[in-house]
Amino acid sequence: MRRVLSYCGRYLVGAALALGLVGAAAAHGGHVAADKAAPAKAARPELGTSAAIAADGSWYAVATRDGHVVLHRSIDAGLHWTEAAVVNRVPEAIAAEGENRPRLAFAADGAVLVSWARRFEERFTGDVRFARAADGLHFDAPVTVHRDRSIVGHSFNVMQVMRDGRLVIAWIDSRDGAAAKRAGGDYRGSAIYAAVSDDGGRSFRPEAKVADHSCQCCRLALTDDVDGVPLLLWRHVFEPNERDHALARLDVDGGAVVPERVTFDRWRIDACPHHGPSLAVAADGTRHAVWFNEREGAGRVFYGRLADGRVEGQRPVGGPRAAHADIALAGARVAVVWKEFDGEHTQLFAELSDDGGRSFRTRALAATAGASDQPRVLRRGEALFVFWRTADEGMKGYPL
């Protein structure tokens, strides 16, 4: 145990200093800094931002400022931005770091949809909030997505509008761990829940449990499977304490249909690495993924294709300091982006494949001397772009 916690401390402290992450170790059932009560003044800038491209080609992004989620718009592919709207009129304590940040999507009718995690005063507690703007500018009053109102952690939300128009929001939830603790029992990690809206976010069905024993503080990856069914990938705590990844197709209520283990690095650690996966599904059903794990004693970002209880083509991405990769597809093109600290600057890199992930070429895109958010890959038709926010340069878009 001493070796495990010592390693985790070294890794997370180094990541926080080198990459501008909000990272910390947590024992069973605990969250890390993303869910603690918001301080009066943040020690570091909270740069957690999500972006998406609307049907008319405009770019939108959501970030936080003074307790508000703010919607920004760009009409030149992310080069310049203007403030478009304030989502929540009444300020709240909002999580806004890389793994736990506001989310953005567009409904089938063009409405702008935003979700975020609100922090409560008690440490590691909060709820998942949601607001909708039918006209893209004037948001309805925020609602809490889940029926559970217990003072526990509901956070690390992810949101996706499916092909059939359903809206799915999934999050990490500590209600089951809290119940086990009250009963004097043990519980590995946290749980994952999801809620579904059939009317573009005007209302939500009662939440359904996806799985027990997720990792506590790693982002979730949600996308459409090849047949349009919601597909969720997350870091899971397999017995006794292996933190690999699990994948599940969600049913009509948001519950899981037979979760399966899909990575096999067998990282044994009693802490959360605060480093979640990303997933994209090709038209032929191939599941392309990037994730972070320790393998053979080294923590690395990996790329691989998840298929039938095995990983095809698994290989490291970038160098030993690569972090927080994202992935997207456009036809046979695969784009992987990540950031990497070189000792002085954090650099933004991309790997591009034109043959479905069999071979890649690497491009250096940008660099910053200050703090930075995690990069995101955006798609419009067959075009792929990178969105990256830094403390010094602001929000920027880069074509691939």
Q: Are strands 190-197 and 242-250 parallel, antiparallel or unpaired?
A: unpaired
Contacts of 196 (CB under 8 A, 6+ apart): 166, 167, 168, 204, 205, 208, 252, 253, 254
> What is the distance between the alpha carbons of residues 53 and 384, in angstroms, rounded to a whole number?
11
pTM for this model (two decimals): 0.89
pLDDT value of position 255: 82
pLDDT value of position 202: 97
Res. 31 pLDDT band, cuts 50 70 90: very low
Contacts of 355 (CB under 8 A, 6+ apart): 332
- Sorted by where each begins, the domain ranges of the chain are 25-274
Beta bridge partners of 243: 237
Q: Confirm if 266 and 242 have CB atoms less than 8 A apart.
A: yes
> What is the distance between the alpha carbons of residues 398 and 304, in angstroms, rounded to a whole number?
24
Percent of the chain clearing pLDDT 90 (strictly above)? 82
Higher per-residue confidence, 33 vs 297: 297
pLDDT at 362 over 90: yes
Average pLDDT over residues 251-269: 90
Dihedral, CA atoms, 262, 268, 269, 273, nearest 10 degrees?
-30
pLDDT value of position 37: 38
Percent of the chain clearing pLDDT 70 (strictly above)? 89
Nearest to 167 by CA among 154, 157, 152, 156: 157
Radius of gyration of the chain from its Cα atoms, rounded to whole angstroms: 19
In tens, the pLDDT along 200-220 reads 999 999 999 999 999 999 999
pLDDT value of position 50: 98
In tens, the pLDDT along 90-141 reads 999 999 988 999 999 999 999 999 999 999 999 999 999 999 999 999 999 9
**3-state DSSP of 206-243:** CCEEEEEEECCCCCCEEEECCCCCEEEEEEEEECCCEE
pLDDT value of position 43: 56
In tens, the pLDDT along 267-308 reads 998 888 999 999 999 999 999 999 999 998 889 999 999 998
Task: List the structure tokens of 329.
Answer: 């597809």
pLDDT at 158 over 90: yes
Q: Confirm if 181 and 29 have CB atoms less than 8 A apart.
A: yes
Average pLDDT over residues 374-385: 96
Judged by average pLDDT, the poorest of 32-46, 59-73, 148-162, 188-202 is 32-46
Mean pLDDT of the chain, nearest integer: 89
Collapsed DSSP state (helix, strand, coil) of residue 2: helix
pLDDT at 38 over 50: no
Q: Read off the amino acid at residue 291.
A: W
pLDDT at 20 over 90: no
CATH topology of domain 25-274: Neuraminidase (2.120.10)
Task: List the structure tokens of 62.
Answer: 């959501």
In tens, the pLDDT along 329-341 reads 999 999 999 999 9
> What is the distance between the alpha carbons of residues 280 and 346, in angstroms, rounded to a whole number?
25
> What is the distance between the alpha carbons of residues 141 and 87, in angstroms, rounded to a whole number?
8
Res. 183 pLDDT band, cuts 50 70 90: very high
> What is the distance between the alpha carbons of residues 32 and 107, in angstroms, rounded to a whole number?
32
Q: Are strands 230-238 and 221-224 parallel, antiparallel or unpaired?
A: antiparallel
pLDDT at 161 over 50: yes
Q: How is residue 141 annotated by DSSP?
A: P
